[in-house]
Amino acid sequence: MSAKKPTTRSYPGLFVVLEGIDGAGTTTQTERVARAVREDGYKVMTTRQPSDGPIGTLIRQALTGRFVLPEGAGPLNPQTLALLFAADRVDHLEAQILPALERGEIVICDRYVLSSLAYQGISLPTDWVQGINAFATPPDLTVFLQVDAAIAADRRADRGGNPELFEQDDQQERIAKEYQAAIRARKGDKLVKVDGTLTPEKVTEAILKTLRPMIKKAAQG
């Protein structure tokens, strides 16, 4: 990847990102939308951040408390985690996302830079988080799944398991606010908000309503 800041699209594929607080349904919708677009006859790569690469794997260990500081000092500090998310993003773009976009595929990524702005933004200056992500290729479309923090909390409770690092209810309220601030502050990127409290079928339908015309346009070059 060039060290210059990416500005314009220079690949034949389409880069789509799904965002929302924990329990908003990004993982479910990534798979559902991918299935529908594949049925339309297009090649789709689904992926996620943190990625399944080496740094992403380390991050997942940090989120579940398996990777901590020595001497009982607790979880990684917010700066370290923010830098890891940004580093994972660079590797993930280079190894998987950009090659797929260059092959003309539709890439659907479960979380991206907006997650860093929202999650790391609760404890760090936005400008700094933005700065360490400055080289990240902007998505062609970001879909924000809007779900009230209380509803998302119920969904996480139904799912069971131990809460991850950011999954405390009060934190999720703050993350939801940071998302809205980051959405308001973003410049130029195409973003649609979809009501994530609808049935999974209806959410998929709403996403496809925006996505299908974009795919058609991209396919026409």
Q: Which residues bind ligand TYD (CB under 6 A)?
A: 22, 27, 49-50, 63, 85, 110-111, 115-116, 119-120, 164, 166
* Residue 81 vs 101, nearer CB to ligand TYD: 81
Q: Helix (H, G, I), strand (E, B), or coil: what is residue 110?
A: strand
Both tokens assigned to 113: 């830079």
* Residue 40 vs 148, nearer CB to ligand TYD: 148
* Residue 59 vs 218, nearer CB to ligand TYD: 59
Beta-bridged to residue 146, according to DSSP, are: 195
Q: Helix 26-39 and helix 200-219: axis angle, to 10°?
A: 50
Q: Are 67 and 58 in contact (CB under 8 A)?
A: yes
d(CA 41, CA 5): 33
* Residue number closest to ligand TYD, CB atom: 119
Q: Helix (H, G, I), strand (E, B), or coil: what is residue 137?
A: coil
Q: Are 146 and 204 in contact (CB under 8 A)?
A: no
CB neighbourhood size of 143 (10 A):
27
d(CA 85, CA 55): 8
Q: Helix (H, G, I), strand (E, B), or coil: what is residue 105?
A: coil
Least distance from ligand TYD to the Cβ atom of residue 110, Å: 6
* Residue 40 vs 164, nearer CB to ligand TYD: 164
Q: Is the Cα torsion angle 47, 51, 54, 60 positive or negative in sign?
A: negative
Least distance from ligand TYD to the Cβ atom of residue 156, Å: 9
Least distance from ligand TYD to the Cβ atom of residue 144, Å: 14
Least distance from ligand TYD to the Cβ atom of residue 51, Å: 9
* Residue 37 vs 82, nearer CB to ligand TYD: 82
* Residue 61 vs 104, nearer CB to ligand TYD: 61
Least distance from ligand TYD to the Cβ atom of residue 180, Å: 16
DSSP summary character for residue 121: G
Least distance from ligand TYD to the Cβ atom of residue 190, Å: 19
